[in-house]
């Protein structure tokens, strides 16, 4: 596969930790929709890309370092990494762990990675939200829903797989607040990474995980590593709104600001948006949409927002209820 530069948000330098530079896909810069925000002329990008290719600047076989051109950081291209383990968490639910130092060092909660099958007839990657990071190991949790994910489920430790990431935007965890991580089904992985990050920052007591399942509570033990406050529910009892309703007095009596982070089926997230809006609680949603490329060129994953149509892979996957126009949902 030819080398690529993929648009991404990566800190530009240690001196300016708040600065963000966008990488760029090459070739065919003239037709790329991100020319205006890349900050480089077409000719400069062509020269930079050619120079990076000559220097072997794109990381492969481990993805351990940024590609830096003129002070801007670029995401390494698709590369091959080893499989550490593949386990079944529940019927049809798989936990896959890879070793990728680059993703482990750079991924933020709610970002995702593209995983590619070994089947040449399935060219499009599968985007999976990152679940946990331990050292240079990165885990994903997904459901077997088709031939591609079935192939991933049959991988074994020592096998290799092509990946690209991390991609997309991340949750904003800057606020000093109590975070309610509200997930449904296979929407829980990015919330687990958020819990892990808050735990790493010593904010475990500010985290409540509220997970809804059809039957088995397969992710409770995982998120329980990062918070003792896990309140899960399955269809025999109700849903996540049932749990939120039960917590209403508790939340009203507390002095902490409340922030909701959520990922799961769209109807569930819209219900959460309405519930939170009526209580003036800010919400951030990690949207799940079908994707083609994963970095903004194919326009498969667009959603309507109050600012027009946005790409979930590049402008998201994180959006607020206000951005999505969901605040009036019932």
pLDDT for 210:
98
Q: Which two tokens stand for residue 224?
A: 């329980």
Grade residue 309 by pLDDT with cuts at 50, 70 and 90.
very high
Give the pTM: 0.80
Tell me where in the chain the CATH 2.40.30.10 domain(s) lie: 79-167
pLDDT tens per residue across span 192-207: 999 999 999 999 999 9
Alpha carbons 262 and 272: distance in angstroms, whole number? 8
pLDDT tens per residue across span 310-326: 999 999 999 999 999 99
User: Which neighbouring-strand residues pair with 93?
Assistant: 90, 143
- Whether the CB-CB separation of 225 and 219 falls below 8 Å is answered with no
pLDDT tens per residue across span 155-174: 999 999 999 999 999 999 99
Which of 10, 5, 34 shows the shortest CA–CA distance to 20?
A: 10
CATH classification number, 79-167, choose in 3.40.50.300, 2.40.30.10, 3.90.550.10, 1.20.1250.20: 2.40.30.10
Which of 56, 27, 21, 54 shows the shortest CA–CA distance to 43?
A: 27
* Separation in Å, CA 290 to CA 15, 113, 149, 172, 286: 37, 14, 14, 23, 13
Tell me where in the chain the CATH 3.40.50.80 domain(s) lie: 178-324
User: Does the structure show a pLDDT above 70 at 104?
Assistant: yes
CATH classification number, 178-324, choose in 3.90.1150.10, 3.40.640.10, 3.40.50.80, 3.40.50.300: 3.40.50.80
Maximal CA-CA distance, the chain:
62
């Amino acid at each position: 596969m030819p080398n690529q530069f993929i648009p991404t948000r990566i800190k530009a330098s240690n001196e300016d930790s708040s600065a963000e530079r966008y990488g760029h896909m090459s070739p065919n810069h003239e037709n790329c929709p991100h020319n205006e925000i890349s900050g480089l002329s077409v000719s400069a990008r062509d020269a930079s890309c050619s120079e990076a290719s000559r220097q072997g600047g794109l990381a492969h076989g481990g993805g351990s370092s940024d590609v830096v051109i003129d002070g801007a950081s670029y995401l390494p291209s698709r590369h091959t990494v080893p499989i550490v383990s593949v386990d079944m968490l529940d019927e049809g639910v798989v936990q896959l762990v890879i070793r990728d130092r680059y993703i482990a060092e750079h991924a933020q909660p709610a970002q995702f990675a593209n995983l590619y099958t070994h089947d040449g007839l399935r060219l499009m990657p599968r985007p999976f939200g990152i679940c946990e990071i331990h050292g240079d190991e990165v885990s994903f949790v997904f459901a077997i829903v088709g031939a591609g994910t079935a192939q991933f489920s049959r991988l074994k430790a020592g096998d290799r797989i092509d990946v690209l990431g991390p991609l997309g935007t991340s949750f904003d965890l800057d606020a000093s607040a109590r975070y309610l991580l509200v997930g449904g089904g296979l929407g829980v992985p990015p919330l687990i990474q958020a819990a892990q990050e808050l735990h790493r920052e010593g904010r475990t007591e500010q985290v409540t995980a509220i997970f809804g399942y059809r039957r088995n509570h397969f992710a409770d033990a995982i998120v329980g590593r990062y918070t003792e406050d896990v309140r899960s529910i399955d269809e025999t009892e109700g849903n996540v709104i049932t749990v939120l309703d039960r917590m209403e007095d508790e939340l009203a009596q507390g002095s902490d600001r409340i922030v909701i982070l959520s990922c799961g089926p769209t109807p569930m997230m819209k219900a959460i948006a309405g519930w939170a809006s009526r209580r003036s609680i800010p919400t951030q949603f990690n949207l799940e949409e079908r994707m083609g490329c994963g970095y903004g060129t194919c326009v498969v994953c667009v959603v309507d927002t109050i600012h027009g149509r946005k790409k979930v892979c590049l402008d998201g996957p994180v959006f607020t209820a206000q951005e999505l126009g969901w605040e009036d949902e019932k």
